[in-house]
Amino acid sequence: MLEKALILHGDEDHVVTPRNPKNISPRLMRSGVETEYKLYPGIGHIRLISGLANLPGLHFDVQDDILQFLEK
């Protein structure tokens, strides 16, 4: 069973609509899943995914947020 979930979304994402992650978070919590939802201002779909790479100019808080979540 899933015990915890981290949902990451950029407010400039035009691929995944904001309602998708906003709708799934409460459903997971009602199912007993520890859920954290992070919204990144000014970040789109590709930039969020690119933030996982260690490339100059693409790193922002996403990597740190994932590590902090996993360490809980």
Task: Tell me the per-residue pLDDT of 5-46, one tens digit each, with 9 for 90 and over.
Answer: 999 999 999 998 878 888 898 899 899 999 999 999 999 998
- Check if the beta carbon of residue 51 is closer than 8 Å to that of residue 63: yes
Q: Which domain holds residue 45?
A: 4-71
For residues 35 and 61, which has the higher predicted lDDT (pLDDT)? Answer: 35
User: Residue 7's pLDDT is what?
Assistant: 93
| pLDDT band at residue 2 using 50, 70 and 90 as cut-offs | low
Q: List the beta bridge partners of residue 6.
A: 36
User: Residue 52's pLDDT is what?
Assistant: 83
Number of domains in the chain: 1
The predicted model gives 47-59 an average pLDDT of: 78
At a CB cut-off of 8 Å and minimum separation 6, what does 7 contact? Answer: 21, 24, 25, 35, 36, 37, 38
From the DSSP assignment, how many helices (H) and strands (E) are in the chain? 3, 2
Q: Strand, coil or helix: what is 5?
A: strand
